[in-house]
Amino acid sequence: MDITLDTLCSGTKAEILRVGASGEIRRRLLDMGVVKGTHIKVVRVAPLGDPIEIHIKGFNLSLRKEEAKTILVKVLGTVGDGKPMGGFFKRRRKGSEIE
């Protein structure tokens, strides 16, 4: 099911399908890694719904509700469902110090 980012609850994992913002806001979102195909996790939502904090590409990003309304996502699951977020976790190689 495709919905906008502002409707997700804390702990929801999703994949970005489209960024509908325009102008300066769109450029800033794209520069911060909010691009099609990226997996995100909603960390927390403020009591009144603004701002929304997401985990994306190894860092947390807070978005205004108006910005989040422009981002179309596909829900992948919830935290604790046992499914990795894909791309966020690097696998440890045997005999290697790199994670």
**Residue 95 confidence class, pLDDT cut points 50, 70, 90:** low
Structural domains of the chain in order of their starting residue, each with its CATH number: 2-78 (2.30.30.90)
pLDDT tops 90 at residue 78 = no
As a whole number of angstroms, the distance between CA 94 and CA 18 comes to: 38
Average pLDDT in the chain: 82
Does the pLDDT of residue 91 top 50, yes or no? no
Question: Is pTM, for the whole model, over 0.85?
Answer: no
Residue 31, Cβ density class (10 Å: 0-12 exposed, 13-18 middle, ≥19 buried): exposed
Range of weakest confidence among 25-29, 67-71, 72-76, 77-81: 77-81
Instruction: Answer whether residue 48 shows pLDDT above 90.
Output: no
Quick check: 27 pLDDT over 90? Answer: yes
List beta partners, residue 75.
14
